[in-house]
Amino acid sequence: MTSGPSSSSSSHPNWTSEAPRPVVPTPATMGGNLRGRRVIIGLPGHGWRTDLRADEKVIQGSRTYVPVIPESEWYRAEAEQVEVFAPLVPVERVWVEEYGMAGPALPDASASRLVSLDEPPRRSPVAALDAGQLTGRRVVEIAVDDGTERRDLRAVTEIHTSEDGHVCARVCTELDWYRWQWTGRSPRTAEVPVNRLWAE
C-alpha cells in the first residue's frame, strides 16, 4: 500500500490516537548494518520488489553489492540454520526500510497516491477497517496502554466478530507465517481488536 492512511481519529472515534510510524525507504549507500534488515530493490523508473531481507555488504573489485534473499528464505535460514543462496544486488539499487515519524492519521486524498519513480514510495499505515483485504498483509499492533508498536506480524484472517462479540482480526508472527509455508504447520495466532490494528 503506497497511499496515505485513509482514516483519521475523527472518522474512527475509538481508534488509537496516532498511526504507527510509516515505512520510509532509505538508500543502502548511506551505510549502517544491513544484516537481517528488510529491504527494497529496484531501478528508478522501472519498479520495485519488496518482502526481501539483506545481509552485510560485499565488495568485489571496485563495486559494492548487497546479498538479498526473499523474506521467507531469510526466516527459514535463521530458524533452521541452513544456508540459502543470496543473489548480489548493486548497492545503488537497494533501499532499506526505515521508520519515519509517527503522527495522526490523515484522510486519504487521490493526490497522495501519485508517487515519484525516482525512489521506492513511502508506505503509510492504514487503519485495518479501511485496508481492504487484510489476510496475508503485514500489520502493526498498537499497545492500548503506552502506544508501543508491535511489528513483524501478518494477518491470517479478515476482520470478524469474535466469540465474545469484539470486532477483531487474527494475527501471527512473521516467523510463524513463513514457517507455515515451509512446514505446513498452522501458526499460533492471537485475536487483536480492530481499533489497535493497522496494515503496513
For 48-107, what is each residue's pLDDT tens digit?
999 999 999 999 999 999 999 999 999 999 999 999 999 999 999 999 999 998 655 544
Q: Mean pLDDT, to the nearest integer, of 1-30?
A: 67
Residue 16 has pLDDT above 90, yes or no: no
| Average pLDDT of the residues of the chain | 88
Cell of residue 176, nine digits = 510463524
Q: Mean pLDDT, to the nearest integer, of 170-192?
A: 96
What pLDDT is stored for residue 102 in this prediction?
Answer: 67
pTM: 0.84
